[in-house]
Amino acid sequence: MIVAALLIAAAPVSSVIDAEYDFARDAQRMGQWTAFRKWADRDAVMFTPQAVWARDYLKDKKDPPRSIRWWPARSIVSCDGRTAVNTGPFVSGDGKRHGYFTTVWQRDKGTWRWVYDAGEFRSGPMPTLPRPVVNRAACRGKAPGAPVIPPPPLTPKQSMKTPEDNGRGQSADRTLGWDWKVDKKGGRIFRVYLWGGRGYSQVLYNDVPPE
């Protein structure tokens, strides 16, 4: 029985939606920033509102008394199933504010890690618990690479200190690509492109104004 329990605990997360749920549960169980550190990729990026390396921002950050709560509502997945973008609602720890999050995930050797995480507060009624919808890239045709904007090159010194004010990424099979840009006031644009077999479609566009 003990061996079986250990095998279950060590089993890899099967889908990125499962990973999002597990990440959210860890935030409630072990603390908000502790969970963020656990699930973050080494080169993960966050926004404060300017871009920062998560490894630096989260290093000594103490958990709040109550963690935010969030749920995936939509998952945009590459053909090979190893890269995805999740979006959905979140509620602040005190339950007084709510908004929408966007997280980019990548899977390596069976382990999901987030590489981009951002959110925005919104007005209106509190969100209801969503049922996730999955949009998957086509696996036909040869994807040449999403039309994302390449960031300017960084010097080694710059890349060690902070991410630039814009960035991009794509899945290994090139069927999913994203880019982001932050202006000097903290406004942020994030775009996602998905391969449809003959071309790319912009399937997500976040235009977040400065707070």
How many other CB atoms are found less than 10 A from the CB of residue 150? 9
State pLDDT tens for residues 28-85: 999 999 999 999 999 999 999 999 999 999 999 999 999 999 999 999 999 999 999 9
Full residue range of the structural domain in which residue 103 is found: 14-208
Total number of domains in the chain: 1
In whole angstroms, what is the distance from residue 192 CA to residue 31 CA?
30
Q: What percent of the chain has pLDDT over 70?
A: 86
Q: Which residue has the tokens 């050797």?
A: 109
**Which of 200, 158, 175, 100 is CA-nearest to residue 167?**
158
Instruction: Give the domain CATH number at 100.
Output: 3.10.450.50
Residue 145 lies in a domain: yes
Per-residue pLDDT at 192 exceeds 90: yes
Q: Say if CB 188 and CB 181 are below 8 A apart.
A: yes
pLDDT score recorded for residue 147? 87
Residue 11 has pLDDT above 60, yes or no: no
pLDDT tens digits, 109-129: 889 999 999 999 988 888 788
Q: pTM higher than 0.95, yes or no?
A: no
Cα angle 127, 129, 134; round to 5: 110
